[in-house]
């Protein structure tokens, strides 16, 4: 999941450099959502492992 978030972040950066604002914004939004999901799942896994 973190891998996909980083891929979308790279796509967003490349699109922003090339001037594709709409695509860059969409890719950034997807990257944020995937990163938040990753964090939530990592925290859940940490607490399940600790107990």
Model confidence over 3-50: pLDDT tens digits? 999 999 999 999 999 999 999 999 999 999 999 999 999 999 999 988
Handedness of CA 38, 43, 46, 47 (dihedral sign): negative
Phi-psi region of 19 (alpha: psi -120 to 50; beta: other; left: phi over 0): left
Q: Give residue 20's pLDDT.
A: 93
With H, G, I as helix, E, B as strand and everything else as coil, classify residue 36: helix
pLDDT of 41: 95
Q: Is the pLDDT of residue 51 over 80?
A: no
Quote the pLDDT of residue 1. Answer: 79
The pLDDT of residue 50: 82
Q: How crowded is residue 41: how many other Cβ atoms within 10 Å of its Cβ?
A: 12
**What gap in Å lies between CA 5 and CA 2, rounded to an integer?**
5
- Tokens (6 digits) for 3: 């891998």
């Amino acid at each position: 999941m973190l891998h996909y978030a980083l891929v979308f972040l790279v796509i967003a950066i490349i699109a922003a450099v090339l001037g594709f604002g709409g695509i860059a914004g969409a890719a950034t939004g997807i990257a944020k959502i995937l990163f938040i999901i990753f964090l939530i799942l990592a925290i859940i896994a940490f607490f399940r492992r600790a107990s």
